[in-house]
Structures are given as structure tokens and as C-alpha cells.
């Protein structure tokens, strides 16, 4: 019995989300084959890509070792730019991780079927992005083995020193760790049925033991499925407000200050929209790479990518609206400091960064109004890259333009990144891509049970459409 009815006319109007599968067992074989493949059966282009990203991870290790041995003076932080690439990269990576929760939780609650082939990749991306984000505030403490525990609410009866709970940085710790914990539970819960499938298909004792432990005794009974669906729904409900809360709390790092350009109430929704925008663009980049290196064209289809591009278009337009609102409020406020800050942002020494931000985040995504652009793989890849470049520039512009021009002209300065700044950031990109490639190779990056449900539903839908079209004729 076929899973999808191959009627060219119907498929042209409403292309299926799952292609090239003869039956449900064939779907299991397609997804599991990536994990079960021998080393020599894995495509050569995958190993080349992994070798390249792994070499960048070595660069990150060297930079962090050098930083700890020498001190954070090797970064370009100065007066008045006490925050520079470290906080820029922290906010950037936290924003990248937002699309995972959005795709997994919110689209699940709205019963969007097109999320099934991409949700697990997005969930894993969330975890890896938060790991990369945590590197920067941790090493900014200088000696993390002595200072990191002061970020946690640990009472100290000897010195009577407590954490400053009025500090937005402490709020970040609570928000980010909560987000990471819930995202990890959500990701692992969805993996359990598929890990059990890999356990039952395992041909080696080691695989049987490892997947047997990770699958938590799953047997696919009605009782197991009922508890699984209840737990997944509860975690989705818990995760949904985190999409709004986590990056809102991160925006408080700036909004609760009195620095012109930061002290504004638009930051929480503005940061959330930008996080979803950059997160979806990063998911697009990763899916296109995985789709090419692991030959997943039948499971990650153009329809999935087209729907994601529509969300990128919407959120990019929202970000553009936020930019216009910022300039309007700066003018309407009547504050000479706010007006100067935004004029300096657009025409001051960092004009090149500001206009790169406007071009990448607002102007270029408007190409997605045209379906030919939304379905062209090269256009998708280029726009996903430029979007993340633009969102990095957004965080840099917010920080640099407000700090380099203080209230007193005598304290004005300019930030120049050092080679350690640049190499550390490049290293986190390598770490992020390496973790994702390892995940895609050794764990099922597509939810088998969810894709099967979509395929079965499409089978009956297309069969009904074919029967209706035949009877009409």
C-alpha cells in the first residue's frame, strides 16, 4: 500500500510533505539508515564538512586557553566600550536558539504538520546555540573556576556575600538555564520512541545497550503512547512562554540601564522578533547543509523550506518596523541624547555596520515575496547567511553605537576587535556546526513517529482527492 498517491496534477497544487516513501517501513529505513550506516557508507562530503568544522573547534580551544592564561585584556574591550564582542555574541547565540522552541512547541500546539521533518533539528540547534552562548559570559569573568558560582543563588554564611538579584545578568542566568533545561527535556522526550526503534533494529550489542538505556524501556504500548503524548503536550505548554520570556529577559541587560539607545520599552518584543527571525534563518542554513550532505531531499522538502521562508519574511518585516519605531521614538521623545544616538547610529563612525544591518535584515528578505525566490535553494542559502550576518550586526550596533558616544565627548572612543575576539567567535561557529553534524549522524534528526503520522494522513487525503477527481470526470 503506497503512502503518497503519485498524481502529478494534485501534487503540483498541494505537494506532499513526505516524498519517495513506498510505505511506513520504508520511512523508518530512510531515517534510520543515516544512524545505522557504517563509517564507509557515510557520504564523503559529510566527513569533509565535519573535518573542516572540527578544525575550527580546535581553534576555539586554543583561544580559550590563551584567554585564561593571559587574561581578558586580550579582548578589545576598552573604555568606554566595556561590553563588546563578548556580549554581542552572547545575545546572538541566545537568539539563534529561539527557533527551536518556536518550531517544536508553538507549531505543535497549533497542529502544524509541516514542522515534523524539521522540529528535531531545531530543538538540537537550540541546545547547541545555548552552549555556545554560555561560553562568553563565563570566560568574561576572567577566572571562571573562581567566579562562576557567584552567578547562582548560593548562600555564603562566612562572608555574608549574596548575589545581586537586581542585576540583569543574574536574571540571564535564571532565564537561560531554565530555557536550556526545558528545551533539553522537550528534545529528549521526543526522541524516546525513535531511540526504541533504533534499539530494536540494532545489530550490535553496544548499540542495543546504549539505545536500550536511552529509550527508557519504551515498548510502544497504548499506555506508553498516552503518557508520552501527555508529557510532550505539557512540555510544549511550558516551553511556549519561554520563547517570549527568555529573550525579553536578555533585553533587560540593556533596557534597564539609562544609556541612550538602550533605555526603551520596545526592546523585549523587538528582541523576541529578532530572535525568531535569526533562529529560523539558522535552521534554514543547517537544514540545507544536512539535506545536501545526508541526502534527505525526500523528507526535508521544498514545501518545508517554503513555509519557513514565509516566517522569515514576516519576522524580518516586524524587525524593520521596530527599526522605524526606534527612530520615531528618538525624535518624538525630545531628548537630545536619544536623537544624537540614532543619528550617530545611521551616520556616525559605525554607519557601515548599521546599513549592513538594515540591508541584511529588512531589504534582502523582501525577495521572499516572490515564490520563485522562496523555492530556490541557492537563494535560500544566501539569504539565510545574510540574515544571520545582519542579526549579528544588529546586536553589535546596539552595543557599540551607544557606548562609544557617551554623555561626555571627552570620554568618547572607538572599539576595534582583536584577533582573539574574531577567532573566538569563529571557534563557536565551528563548535555549533560540529555538534549539529554529530547529532545528525548518530541520532535520528527527523521524528519518525511524527512523519509517519503525517504520511498516513496524506495518503488518505490524496486518495480522497483522486477519487473525487475521478468521479467528477
Tell me whether residue 228 is exposed, middle or buried, using C-beta atoms within 10 angstroms of its C-beta: 0 to 12, 13 to 18, 19 or more: middle
Let me know if residue 448 belongs to a domain.
Answer: yes
Residue 62 has pLDDT above 90, yes or no: yes
Q: Say if 400 falls within a structural domain.
A: yes
Least confident of 37-46, 322-331, 429-438: 37-46
Kindly indicate the confidence band of residue 73, based on its pLDDT and cuts at 50, 70 and 90. confident
CB atoms within 10 A of CB 184: 14
Q: Which domain holds residue 67?
A: 8-462
Distances (CA, A) of 103 to 15, 198, 279, 375, 458: 21, 25, 10, 20, 21
Q: What is residue 141's DSSP assignment?
A: T
Full-model pTM: 0.84
Q: Residue 470: inside a domain, yes or no?
A: no
Q: Calculate mean pLDDT across residues 417-429.
A: 92
Say if residue 17's pLDDT is above 90: no
Q: CA-to-CA distance for 301 and 18, rounded, in angstroms?
A: 7
CA 247, CA 91: separation in Å to the nearest integer?
Answer: 8
CA separation (Å) from 445 to 32, 73, 122, 321, 419? Answer: 9, 41, 9, 35, 35
For residue 25, is it within any domain?
yes
Residue 469 lies in a domain: no
Q: Is 400 strand, coil or helix? A: helix
The pLDDT-based confidence of 107 (bands split at 50, 70, 90) is confident
Cα torsion angle, 418, 419, 424, 429, sign: positive
Q: Are 191 and 28 in contact (CB under 8 A)?
A: no
CATH code of the domain containing 160: 1.20.1630.10
Is the model's pLDDT at 81 over the cut of 50? yes
Q: Residue 386: its pLDDT value, please? A: 93
- pLDDT band at residue 9 using 50, 70 and 90 as cut-offs: very low
C-alpha cell at 54: 572540527
Residues 367-377: pLDDT tens digits?
999 999 998 99
pLDDT top residue among 7 and 201: 201
pLDDT band at 19 (very low <50, low <70, confident <90, very high): low
pLDDT band at 469 (very low <50, low <70, confident <90, very high): very low
Count Cβ atoms below 10 Å from residue 205 Cβ, excluding itself.
Answer: 8
Tell which wins on pLDDT, 21 or 413: 413
Overall average pLDDT of the 299-310 stretch: 86
Note whether residue 468 is domain-resident.
no
- 8 Å CB contact between 247 and 272: yes
How many domains in the chain?
A: 1
- Answer whether residue 383 is part of any domain: yes
- pLDDT number for residue 459: 58
Looking at residue 208, what is its pLDDT?
Answer: 87
Amino acid at each position: 500500500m503506497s503512502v503518497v498517491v503519485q498524481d502529478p496534477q494534485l501534487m503540483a497544487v498541494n505537494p506532499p510533505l513526505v516524498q519517495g516513501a513506498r510505505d511506513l517501513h520504508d520511512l523508518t529505513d530512510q531515517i534510520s539508515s543515516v544512524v545505522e550506516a557504517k563509517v564507509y557508507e557515510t557520504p564523503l562530503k559529510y566527513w569533509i564538512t565535519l573535518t573542516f568544522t572540527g578544525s575550527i573547534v580546535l581553534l576555539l580551544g586554543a583561544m580559550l586557553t590563551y584567554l585564561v592564561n593571559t587574561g581578558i585584556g586580550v579582548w578589545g574591550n576598552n573604555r568606554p566600550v566595556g561590553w563588546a564582542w563578548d556580549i554581542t555574541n552572547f545575545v546572538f547565540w541566545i537568539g539563534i536558539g529561539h527557533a527551536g522552541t518556536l518550531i517544536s512547541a508553538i507549531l505543535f500546539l497549533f497542529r502544524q504538520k509541516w514542522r515534523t521533518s524539521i522540529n528535531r533539528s531545531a530543538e538540537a540547534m537550540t541546545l547547541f546555540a545555548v552552549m555556545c552562548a554560555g561560553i562568553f559570559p563565563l570566560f568574561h569573568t576572567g577566572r571562571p573556576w573562581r567566579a562562576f558560582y557567584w552567578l547562582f543563588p548560593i548562600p555564603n554564611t562566612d562572608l555574608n556575600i549574596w548575589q545581586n538579584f537586581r542585576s540583569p545578568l543574574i536574571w540571564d542566568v535564571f532565564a537561560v538555564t531554565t530555557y536550556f533545561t526545558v528545551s533539553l527535556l522537550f528534545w529528549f522526550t521526543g526522541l524516546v520512541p525513535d531511540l526504541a526503534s533504533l534499539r530494536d533494529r540494532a545489530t550490535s550489542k553496544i548499540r542495543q545497550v546504549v539505545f536500550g538505556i536511552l529509550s527508557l524501556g519504551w515498548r510502544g504500548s497504548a499506555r506508553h503512547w498516552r503518557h508520552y503524548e501527555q508529557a510532550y503536550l505539557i512540555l510544549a505548554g511550558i516551553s511556549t512562554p519561554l520563547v517570549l520570556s527568555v529573550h525579553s529577559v536578555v533585553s533587560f541587560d540593556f533596557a534597564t540601564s539609562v544609556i541612550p539607545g538602550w533605555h526603551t520599552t520596545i526592546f523585549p518584543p523587538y528582541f523576541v522578533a529578532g530572535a525568531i527571525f535569526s533562529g529560523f534563518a539558522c535552521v534554514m542554513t543547517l537544514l540545507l547543509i544536512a539535506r545536501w550532505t545526508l541526502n534527505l531531499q525526500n523528507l526535508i522538502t521544498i514545501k518545508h523550506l517554503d513555509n519557513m521562508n514565509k516566517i522569515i519574511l514576516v519576522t524580518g518585516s516586524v524587525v524593520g518596523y521596530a527599526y522605524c519605531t526606534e527612530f520615531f521614538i528618538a525624535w518624538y521623545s525630545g531628548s537630545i541624547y536619544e536623537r544624537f544616538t540614532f543619528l550617530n547610529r545611521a551616520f556616525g563612525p559605525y554607519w557601515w555596520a548599521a546599513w549592513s544591518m538594515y540591508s541584511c535584515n529588512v531589504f534582502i528578505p523582501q525577495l521572499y515575496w516572490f515564490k520563485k525566490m522562496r523555492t530556490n535553494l541557492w537563494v535560500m542559502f544566501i539569504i539565510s547567511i545574510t540574515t544571520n550576518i545582519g542579526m549579528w550586526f544588529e546586536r553589535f550596533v546596539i552595543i557599540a553605537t551607544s557606548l562609544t558616544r557617551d554623555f561626555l565627548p571627552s570620554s568618547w572612543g572607538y572599539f576595534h576587535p582583536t584577533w582573539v575576539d574574531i577567532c573566538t567567535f569563529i571557534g563557536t561557529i565551528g563548535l555549533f556546526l560540529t555538534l549539529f553534524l554529530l547529532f545528525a549522524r548518530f541520532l535520528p534528526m527527523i521524528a519518525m513517529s511524527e512523519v509517519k503520522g503525517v504520511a498516513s494522513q496524506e495518503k488518505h487525503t490524496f486518495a480522497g482527492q483522486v477519487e473525487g477527481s475521478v468521479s467528477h470526470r
